[in-house]
Amino acid sequence: MKLTGNNFIGNEKSSVGNSTFKAVNPATGKKLDTSFIEAVPAEIDKSAQKAETAFKIYRNKSGQEKAVFLEAIADEISILGNNLIQRCMAETGLPEARITGERGRTMNQLKLFASVLREGSWLDARIDLAQPDREPLPKPDVRSIQIALGPVGIFGASNFPLAFSVAGGDSTSALAAGCTIVVKAHPAHPGTCELVANAIINAIQKTGMPDGTFSMVHGKSIDVGMAIVTNPLIKAIGFTGSFRGGKAIFDAASKRPSPIPVYAEMGSTNPVFILPGALKDKKKEIVNGLTASVTMGVGQFCTNPGLVFLANTDDTNSFKEVASQSFKESTSGTMLTSEIQKAYKNGIEKLASNIGVEVLATGKTNGEGLQGNPTILITSAEKYLTNSEFEKEIFGPSTLTVSAADKSELLKIAENLSGHLTTTIWANEDDLNYYSDLIGILERKAGRLIINGFPTGVEVCHSMIHGGPYPATTDSRTTSVGTTAINRFTRPVSYQNFPNKLLPNELKDENPLNILRLVDGEYKR
Ligand code: NAP
Residues 478-502: tens digit of each pLDDT:
999 999 999 999 999 999 999 999 9
Provide the angle, in degrees to the nearest 10, between the axes of the packed helices 190-207 and 63-92. Answer: 160
CA–centroid distance, residue 40 to ligand 1 (Å)? 21
C-alpha pair distances (Å), 309 with each of 42, 107, 272, 285, 356: 51, 37, 6, 16, 16
pLDDT digits (tens, 9 = 90+) for 227-273: 999 999 999 999 999 999 999 999 999 999 999 999 999 999 999 99
Cα dihedral 260, 263, 268, 270, rounded to 10, equals: 130
Query: Who contacts 220 (Cβ-Cβ below 8 Å, separation ≥6)?
Result: 19, 21, 38, 187
CA 241 to ligand 1 centroid distance, Å: 3
Q: Which residues are catalytic?
A: 265, 302
Backbone angles phi, psi at 519, to 5 degrees: -110, 120
Residue 248 Cα: closest atom of ligand 1: 18
Q: Ligand 1 centroid vs 477 CA: distance in angstroms?
A: 21
Q: Which protein residue has the closest C-alpha to ligand 1 atom 8?
A: 186
- For ligand 1, atom 12, the nearest C-alpha belongs to 245
- CA 50, distance to chain mean position in Å, is 26
For residue 471, cis peptide bond before it (omega within 30 degrees of 0): yes
Average pLDDT for 149-170: 98
Give the position, in ligand 1's atom list, of the atom nearest the Cα of 340: 25
Beta-sheet pairing, 152-155 with 236-240:
parallel
- Give dist(CA 281, CA 303) in Å, integer: 25
> Which of 240, 466, 474 has most ligand 1 atoms within 8 Å of its beta carbon, as the pocket-test mutant?
240
Q: How far is the CA of 502 from the centre of ligand 1 (A)?
A: 43
Q: What is the mean pLDDT of residues 156-169?
A: 98
Residue 279: the pLDDT is 97
Question: 429 alpha carbon to ligand 1 midpoint, in Å?
Answer: 40
Closest among 14, 13, 33 to 23, alpha carbons compared: 33
* pLDDT above 90: residue 369: no
DSSP code per residue over 431-459: HHHHTHHHHHHHHTTEEEEEESS-S----
State the Cα–Cα distance between residues 190 and 429, nearest whole angstrom.
Answer: 49
CA distance 236 to 256: 12
Burial 152-189 (b: 16+ CB within 10 A, else e): bbbbbbbbbbbbbbbbbbbbbbbbbbbbbbbbbbbbbb
- As a whole number of angstroms, the distance between CA 147 and CA 170 comes to 17
Q: Using the predicted structure, report yes or no on whether residue 360 has a pLDDT greater than 90.
A: yes
Per-residue pLDDT, averaged over 49-68, amounts to: 98
DSSP conformation class of 503: S
Q: How many CB atoms lie within 10 A of CB 34?
A: 18
Q: What is the arithmetic mean of pLDDT over 117-121?
A: 97
Q: pTM of the prediction?
A: 0.97
Shortest-distance Cα residue to atom 25 of ligand 1:
158
Smallest CA separation from ligand 1 atom 16, residue: 245
98, 221, 222: which to mutate for ligand 1, most atoms within 8 A of CB? 222
- SS3 percent helix, strand, coil of the chain, rounded to 5, is 40, 20, 40
Query: What proportion of the chain, given as a percentage, has pLDDT over 90?
Result: 99
Q: Which residue has its alpha carbon closest to ligand 1 atom 36?
A: 241
Residue 431 has pLDDT above 90, yes or no: yes
pLDDT value for 368 = 80
Give the residues across from 425 on adjacent strands: 273, 451
DSSP code, position 388:
G
What Rg do the C-alpha atoms of the chain give, in angstroms? 25
Residues with CB under 6 A from ligand 1: 155, 157-160, 164, 184, 186-187, 219-220, 222, 225-226, 240-242, 244-245, 248-249, 265-267, 302, 340, 393, 395, 421, 466, 480
Residue nearest to atom 14 of ligand 1 (CA): 245
Cα 127 to ligand 1 centroid, rounded to whole Å = 41
Q: Which pLDDT does position 1 carry in this prediction?
A: 79
Atom of ligand 1 nearest to the CA of 241: 30
Which ligand 1 atom lies nearest to the CA of residue 220? Answer: 47
With 0-12 / 13-18 / 19 or more C-beta atoms within 10 angstroms meaning exposed / middle / buried, residue 274 is buried
CA gap 501, 159 in Å, rounded: 48
pLDDT surpasses 90 at 366: no
Ligand 1 centroid from CA 137, angstroms: 54
**Which atom of ligand 1 is nearest the CA belonging to 466?**
40
User: Tell me: the pLDDT tens digits for 435-478?
Assistant: 999 999 999 999 999 999 999 999 999 999 999 999 999 999 99
Work out whether the CA dihedral 451, 454, 459, 465 comes out positive or negative: positive
What is the 3-state secondary structure of 329-385?
HCECEECCCHHHHHHHHHHHHHHHCCCCCEEEEECECCCCCCEECCEEEEEEHHHHC
Dihedral over alpha carbons 436, 439, 442, 447 (to 10 degrees): 180
Residue 96's pLDDT is: 98
Q: Answer whether residue 367 shows pLDDT above 90.
A: no
Q: How far apart are CA 152 and CA 51, in angstroms?
A: 9
Identify the H or E element spanning 198: helix 190-207
413-428 pLDDT tens trace: 999 999 999 999 999 9
| pLDDT tens digit sequence for 189-230 | 999 999 999 999 999 999 999 999 999 999 999 999 999 999
**Over the stretch 299-348, which tens digit does the pLDDT of each residue have?**
999 999 999 999 999 999 999 999 999 999 999 999 999 999 999 999 99
Question: What residues have CB less than 8 Å from 273, skipping those under 6 apart?
Answer: 309, 310, 410, 414, 423, 424, 425, 426, 427, 438, 442
Give the pLDDT score at 517.
98
Pairing of strands 371-372, 398-404: unpaired
